[in-house]
Structure 1
């Protein structure tokens, strides 16, 4: 599989792991890179001292390409550009902020820069800022969202119709069929978040993985649509079901005990950021198996569609 995304990232498969706070660290990211995709180390936890240690681990766990995400709303280090450039990575995604803030500085260090966008206006702003590509993220994805969410099925072809830059699709991607759909809509790569949260190498507590596996397609909630603060898509629990109707005054304060949920398994301690695609995940699998099955199914779907709907030769 070879296209602009694989060339830019230096990977075998155009499959990227989402940069989830506290989760997208060396254990998970190295497994993704070793399986032929691109692992990404997060900064959205805001704990750059811990991230530095994870970067050191990453270098001992894989010799394959990997990247770093700069989550602008959560990074307070004025030297973040130098920090990222010093790690030897070639690819960085920026998110949760103005693409103009770091794009030029990162590119001046020789880095390939993609910006995460939730709508067309944000995509156009990122393009004007000079990014090398876009991560186009539909509202069905888990995590921090734009309050005016747009589904991947609408957003992805819209953005792709307005730019020739390479696009990675995010939101609702979990297997080869959804990857093939994203490619049909104009993407050249995909990003997986919830599928990787549920992976065997994911560091989160088994309780979270079990809830993903047992979730229905309706078992996520969209929180804090009208602010203040970010909107969120999260797994449905007693807490988040209550918040759906009665938003807390400060949604981010509800993440104060996130580690008790993430690694302690108390699913009511905070908010489990999870995408709608949880409803399609039915088992915990190793990362290598997830990527292998995704690629095999993608190729099978594309072959079948080509045979079924490809141009039929006219009779002589």
Structure 2
């Protein structure tokens, strides 16, 4: 099937409208460059990087691929001035912002020739992102791993509503890990898909092997959204989650929950492989994953299945 360029592939100058999510502790230069080399858009996850570490990953990514890649920046994280300065200094061309107000940095980035995409979990914030001047929006459903929307709107419901609310390019995220789900998202109104969990268990993912295996072992219902008093996050149920649940049932304050969370829970779980005390962030679609593959194999499999199914629908 001949590739059909759409607004997403044209915006990023990529072969396939397949975007790798910028996941903390998973999305280093090896994964981002591999996805980009395979024809998608690789994303560095700045949320788990100190500013100078981010600079190092940007430079290594440029050496590893001459194709476009981006950086995901959670706007609520500290040292934002330093991070933005590095993005400009290192001539990053594409930035995905999340977890914050897009109006804070969109103009700054666009004035310097950077394409800006913002991740949202509701129609309200999709409209605000478009008003802020972003070039595209990622609408992420409640199925997604990591930090999540308080509205609890699923991908199936969210994508059509956002499509009607905005005119700029729309990417779907949350529960997408195959060509079949990518095509479903397109039918709902998306022009491309952002994939997280499947890339989290890729060969090039910087996640610990313990974490990857736990994802592959996950069954239906093994993930849950918790810590809603702080910032909702979807994770695999484990000893840490049980501690959070017990604290919440006892009416723990935000301060108590914040102390319980600490500052390194996601690092312990995802990067260091502590399956008991770590925060194991992953999406519901983990229940459908059963093997570790290279990023190139994932991109090819997703695209081939998408094309085959689309062709059969039009036959």
In structure 1, distance between residues paired with 2:80 and 2:134:
21
Residue aligning to 1:263: 271
One of 8, 11, 20 as aligned partner of 2:11? 8
Residue aligning to 1:232: 233
Residue aligning to 1:314: none
One of 283, 294, 303 as aligned partner of 2:302? 294
Q: Structure 1 residues 8-17 or 86-95, which shifts more? A: 86-95
CA spacing shift, 1:254–1:234, aligned 2, 3 Å: farther
Kindly provide the CA deviation profile for residues 95-147 of structure 1, in whole angstroms up to 9, marking residues without a partner as x: 11111000111110111111110101111111111111101111110011122
In structure 2, distance between residues paired with 1:294 and 1:234:
24
One of 75, 79, 96 as aligned partner of 1:76? 79
In structure 2, distance between residues paired with 1:75 and 1:189:
30
Residue aligning to 1:218: 221
Kindly provide the CA deviation profile for residues 213-234 of structure 1, in whole angstroms up to 9, marking residues without a partner as x: 1211211011022x1x211000
Higher RCO, Cα 8 Å, sep 6+: 2
Residue aligning to 2:103: 100
* 2:253 aligned with 1:250: no
* 2:50 aligned with 1:47: yes
Residue aligning to 1:310: none
Deviation at 1:245, TM superposition (A): 5.2
Contact 2:28 2:205 in 1 (8 A): no
Instruction: State the number of aligned residues.
Output: 305
5+ residue gaps, structure 1? 308-316
Give the alignment's TM-score, normalised by structure 1. 0.92
5+ residue gaps, structure 2? none
CA spacing shift, 1:234–1:257, aligned 2, 3 Å: closer
Deviation at 1:251, TM superposition (A): 4.4
* SS at structure 2 position matched to 1:150: coil
Residue aligning to 1:312: none
In structure 2, distance between residues paired with 1:184 and 1:245:
41
In structure 2, distance between residues paired with 1:217 and 1:254:
28
In structure 1, distance between residues paired with 2:246 and 2:201:
27
Deviation at 1:286, TM superposition (A): 0.8
Contact 1:167 1:187 in 2 (8 A): yes
Residue aligning to 2:190: 187
Deviation at 1:256, TM superposition (A): 2.0
Task: Please provide the CA RMSD for this pair.
Answer: 1.6
CA spacing shift, 1:251–1:20, aligned 2, 3 Å: farther
In structure 1, distance between residues paired with 2:258 and 2:217:
26
One of 208, 213, 217 as aligned partner of 1:205? 208
* SS at structure 1 position matched to 2:172: strand
* 2:293 aligned with 1:285: yes
Deviation at 1:262, TM superposition (A): 2.3
In structure 2, distance between residues paired with 1:175 and 1:244:
32
* SS at structure 1 position matched to 2:80: coil
Kindly provide the CA deviation profile for residues 218-274 of structure 1, in whole angstroms up to 9, marking residues without a partner as x: 11011022x1x2110001223224434543632473452433322332111221110
Kindly provide the CA deviation profile for residues 151-208 of structure 1, in whole angstroms up to 9, marking residues without a partner as x: 0000011000112210111100101001001100111111111111111111111111
In structure 2, distance between residues paired with 1:29 and 1:56:
12
